[in-house]
Structure 1
């Protein structure tokens, strides 16, 4: 049986789907376009009960232009490459959504679309590609155009974690002084080389600074993990990258000197935010 037919596409926590754009979405030649940007993640784990693998993650999309998007679609594929230069499309789902990406959104305020597929294990190099298209992309009015973010899986495929524990947001950990933090973490401990404590990182308005945007989500995620919440492999990878970033830099203004700097760190912050809010695929739910 063809692997495409074997795959079971599961959409979890996705925004409500609507019909694909209609002929009424045709734009006039005088209209301006906008510019879209996107990133994505990919987790793979083994489902013990079925022998299948679960391919999951999130697609984050933001609109760098001055007008809202028209006709958004996300054509998402799990691909693999055993030999040769080309990846092959294997597992697929087309999201045809009425969602509008508002003008002026950023990596911090990006709209996030989770995805999850259960399918047979794949060999070779595995990656996910999201072909994101709109009808009003700058320079391509009425022609579906947009970014194609990719993410290649690295590492061994482990059993899917049990959905143990639950998660809280940074507001819970930072704004409630009566909440005891799990050991070995302390509100008054120095936060890496920042010159600030862990609590001061939580208390400082981000103001667009990628260090603080990532810092508050990193703190919430490690406290959730230390409190017993399960951590998917993709989130653990982001936490490791974030720890390396914080360990290798100094103060927030030196690490991220301008509002448009540290884009990667802002994206990590967005991914951890989805975990801390209980909507990351394969992660624990938000605590009641």
Structure 2
């Protein structure tokens, strides 16, 4: 009988030895190694330079002609503008060298350069060559002033070796940076005031170019004829440095002693009923003012003013008559032909039956002729001239 168990045993043993063990990991030899890390933090200051612009929106001509006692609403616009000026560009950060391998490594003096060909001085606090022990790190810091705000790439590099005399290896890293958000902002906010508009508010700039507009109104009135001037000044003062900006606007106002004329559109809207500011010249009509009855019609002056003529010669004349009459009562001089037209219109209105606006063909032609002349007077084409409305 042949004995085969020694052969079987040897085969089994060989198979067992060739199976991988779950508890065993392959061992990798680690040599010397150096890692480099760096940061690059941009810094810059943004200062806002403020200017003011002030305009008179109404009157568009920039000047006024008013009748005594007439109220006029001036309208102004103030624009605050800020332009950013950036300065004080610099970059700060650190470079860290880590010995991530086995054994001590030796470093030569590292370099740090920018993509714009500027060299950055590193402060490492040690002398070179420097021995960096296994597992140790060396941190170098820097702060570099720059002449402009271009974006840059910062590259740190070091030559190293293992014997302290030769440095055949090189390690480097990069960090990019851009001057996007300022680290310090000066005169970002300002207070805006106006001699007529009062405190207009706080303005806060943003971005590189900023503007904000304010509009307001101011009413003027002069009871005596003469020449006047409405002076107005806007003032801005920044919060941080107290820097100031100013803008002025003036409106010459003429109140002629011979008066000036206003249109029917003005008088119909400036009674006690509004909607525009009340003109006390309505008091010249009598105690009832706009509620005075208009001749034999049975309507008040106010109601007549707000009745659309729709081709009715009576109302066409009535509108121009009422405006001209109020102008004369308010002190506006009138040439003889205008006074004659006013007298003729009054006679016509008084001659009609109560509540009637019906005119004969001849009366209609005469009414339209008087209305045309009075319209020219009310608009300043004849007579002393037109008031600002």
Q: TM-score, normalised by structure 1?
A: 0.40
Q: Of the two, which has the highest radius of gyration?
A: 2
> Which is bigger in relative contact order (C-alpha 8 A, separation at least 6)?
1
Structure number with the higher strand fraction is 2
Q: TM-score, normalised by structure 2?
A: 0.30
